[in-house]
Amino acid sequence: MGDFWTNTDKPFFKINPSFKFLIIAALFIVYLCVRNLNTMIWATVLFLILYFLVNGFPAKFSFWMIILTFIVSFLGTAAMILFGKGTHVLFHWYLIMISEESLARGVLIGLRTFIFTMIGMILASTTMPVPFFYSLMQQLKVPVRYAYGCLAAFRMLPMMAEEFVHIRQAMIVRGMMQKKGARAAYERMKHYALAMLAQSIRRAQRTAVAMEAKRFSMTEARTYYYEIGWSRYDLYFLVVILCTVALGFLLSHWMPLTPFTDVIDN
C-alpha cells in the first residue's frame, strides 16, 4: 500500500508519527470547543491550504476527497439550517423554518465537520502505516501484540480488495453476472460474503499462529527493525500548527466575516 502515498519527501513525512497524532488529537479538542463562527471559517481556509501544501496523496484522490467532504458537510449544514430552531425567523414554509440561529448553527457544524476531515487527512496523507505503528510501540508504549495485530489487519485490506476482484472475475466467467433482478443480486452478494468471510478467517488464523510462534505475546523488551526517533522536523511541525491556529483566531478578530461570535451548537 506504500505506492498510494506520493511525494513522500515532503517535510511532514519526517515528523515523529506519535507526536503528529497527539497534536492532531489536540486540534480536534480545540475546534470542538470553538463556537466563534468567524474563527471556524478562517481555520477551515487555513487548514485547507495547509492540506494542499503538505499532503502526500495523489492530486486526483485529494480533489475527490475534498469534494466528498464538502458534500457531507453541506448535507449536515442543510439539515440543521432547514429544520433548526430560532427566534429570528428568516423563512418559514410548512416544516421548513430558517432562522438566524439555525443558519449560524448549521454553518458552524458544517465547518466543524470539514475542518475535522482536513485535520485528519493531514495526518493520514503524511503518515505511512508501518512507521506509525512502530512509533506507537516505541514512543507511546502500546503493547506489541496490539500494535502488530492492527498493522496486520491494515495490511489485509489490499489483499481483500484483490480477492474481491478475483471473485468477481470468477463469477463473470461462470456467467453469474448476467442474471438480473433482486434475487440474482442477493445471490451474488451471498457468494461475495461467504467467500471473503471464509478467506478472512483462514488468513486471521494463520496470522495469529505466526504471531504466537514469533513470541508476540511476550512481555519482555523487544528490539525493532525500525527505530523511530525525534528530529528538528517535529519542532517545525509544532510551530506550523501553532501559527495556523493562532492566525485563525487573529483573523477572526481582525477581519470578522459574520456577526456570529458565540454560536450555541446544540
First to last CA, the chain: 40
Q: What percent of the chain has pLDDT above 90?
A: 24
What are the pLDDT digits (tens) for 225-238? 778 888 899 999 99
Report the SS3 class of residue 93: strand
What are the pLDDT digits (tens) for 162-177? 888 888 887 777 776 7
How many whole angstroms separate alpha carbon 172 and alpha carbon 66?
Answer: 34
What are the pLDDT digits (tens) for 25-75? 999 999 998 888 899 999 999 999 999 988 888 888 888 889 998 898 888
Compute the Cα dihedral for 45, 50, 53, 55 and give only its sign.
negative
Q: Hey, what amino acid is at 250?
A: L
Tell me: pLDDT of 2 over 70: no
What are the pLDDT digits (tens) for 71-125? 988 887 887 777 767 677 666 677 777 777 778 888 888 899 999 999 999 998 8
48: closest CA among 33, 62, 32? 62
Mean pLDDT of 204-223: 68
Helix axes of 17-33 and 129-138: crossing angle, nearest 10 degrees: 90
**CA 51 to mean position of chain CA atoms:** 13
230: closest CA among 7, 14, 9? 14
